[in-house]
A = this chain, B = another copy of it.
Amino acid sequence: MDCVRVAFQGARGAFSEQASRQLVAGRPVEFKPCEKFFEVFETLRDGAADRAVVPIENTLHGSVHENYDHLLHYHPEILGETYVRVVHNLIGHPDASRAGIERAISHPVALAQCLDFFRRNPGISAESHYDTGGSVKTVMERADLRLAAVASSAAADYYGATILEHSIEDDPENYTRFFLLGPREGRNACSEGTRKTSLVFVTKNVSGALFRCLSAFALRDISLTKIESRPLKGRPFEYRFYVDITAAPEQEECANALRHLSELTEFMAILGSYEPASIPAVAA
């Protein structure tokens, strides 16, 4: 079976790698870690990867707005979504002991999600690092038994490090939603059953414009699961809207809704239509 080359942002062991494994399950994967989000999109565009995986929203932090902008700019096709439960662990060198840890490094967002842990453990100071997966790499390279990383269990596995304390994050309801992206090669075959579709549009400049646009879905009982607005460059204080709906363009009601929406918008594009994923349960 051919290897799928998957681009994602972060070092090996990042949460994006975990999402990639979920999204291309059952096929051998060659990972293409990138430093920046735009590089992920460009790696896919340039054909150096077959797929890209990017985070689009987190339940604590909200949307990854930069990636919404890239979705329109690079215009890949959204082929799927998945949810990763973000579990942070205190990870050390295999020779380290929990009691000997004095400093913990990780991406500042990961550290900010473990504030209670650091309050309960004033003997461990938190220090910013460029990446969660990369912090485990650094811990292993330095072989400093007083240094730990805050990262996923996948990162511990990847670098051969040891989990010293599991699940140190403040809020267990911490999930990130990821998109699987591919080149735009014409529409996917539509699978049967429930589908989700992501769209972007710019309303016409009329009163109640957004309300009218949402009516295209509401009047057909098509649910809206997400709406996000982003500024329109060169048109101060006007916006484009990204919405996710639970329907597929191939379904008649949805096709009617999209035709209706196109009457009400200046611009409209389908970003992709895919099988909805479910949110993993928090283990008891």
Contact surface of A with B, Cβ cutoff 8 Å: 57-63, 65, 171, 173, 175, 177, 207-208, 210-212, 214-215, 217-218, 221, 223-231, 233-237, 239, 279
Point out the residues of chain B lying under 8 angstroms from A214, CB to CB: 208, 210-211, 214
Contact between A207 and B221 (Cβ–Cβ < 8 Å)? Answer: yes
User: Which one, B211, B233, B239, B279, contacts A211 given CB within 8 A?
Assistant: B211
- Residue from the list B59, B230, B233 in contact with A237, Cβ < 8 A: B59
Q: Could you say which of A175, A214, A217 has the most chain B C-beta atoms within 10 Å of its C-beta?
A: A214
Evaluate contact between A231 and B57: CB separation under 8 angstroms. yes
CA distance A233 to B175 in the complex (A): 11
Contact present for A60 and B233 (CB under 8 Å): yes
A214 nearest CB neighbor, chain B only: B211
A-B contact list, 30 entries, CB within 8 Å: A57-B231, A58-B231, A59-B237, A61-B231, A62-B65, A62-B229, A62-B231, A173-B233, A173-B235, A173-B236, A175-B237, A207-B218, A207-B223, A208-B214, A208-B217, A208-B218, A208-B223, A208-B224, A210-B224, A210-B227, A211-B224, A212-B218, A214-B214, A225-B237, A226-B237, A227-B227, A227-B229, A228-B229, A229-B229, A237-B279
Instruction: Check if B279 sits within 8 Å of A236, measured CB to CB.
Output: yes
- Interface of A, helix, strand, loop or mixed by DSSP: mixed
Tell whether, in the assembled complex, residue B207 and residue A211 are in contact, meaning their CB atoms are under 8 Å apart.
Answer: no
A279 to B279, CA, bound (A): 43
Which B residues are CB-close (under 8 A) to A62?
65, 229-231
> Are the CB atoms of A218 and B229 closer together than 8 Å?
no
**In the bound complex, CA of A177 to CA of B229 (Å):** 16
Q: Which 5 A-B pairs have the closest CB atoms?
A: A208-B218, A211-B218, A211-B214, A59-B236, A62-B231
Chain B residues, Cβ within 8 Å of A229 = 62-63, 226-229
A115 to chain B, nearest CB (A): 13
Of the candidates B60, B211, B217, B236, which one forms a contact with A215 in the assembled complex, judged by CB atoms under 8 Å apart? Answer: B211
Select A171's contact among B171, B234, B279, beta carbons within 8 Å. B234
CB distance from A107 to the nearest CB of B (A): 17
- Closest CB-CB distance, A282 to chain B, in whole Å? 10
Interfacial chain B residues near A223, Cβ < 8 Å: 207-208
List of B residues within 8 angstroms of A211 by Cβ: 211, 214-215, 217-218, 224
Q: Which residues of B contact A226 (CB under 8 A)?
A: 229, 237, 239
Name which residue of chain B comes closest to A59, CB basis: B236
**CA of A250 to CA of B151 in the docked complex: distance in angstroms?**
52
Give the distance in Å from the alpha carbon of A239 to the alpha carbon of B57 in the complex: 12
Known A-B contacts A62-B65, A236-B175, A237-B177; A208 and B221 likewise in contact (beta carbons under 8 Å) = yes
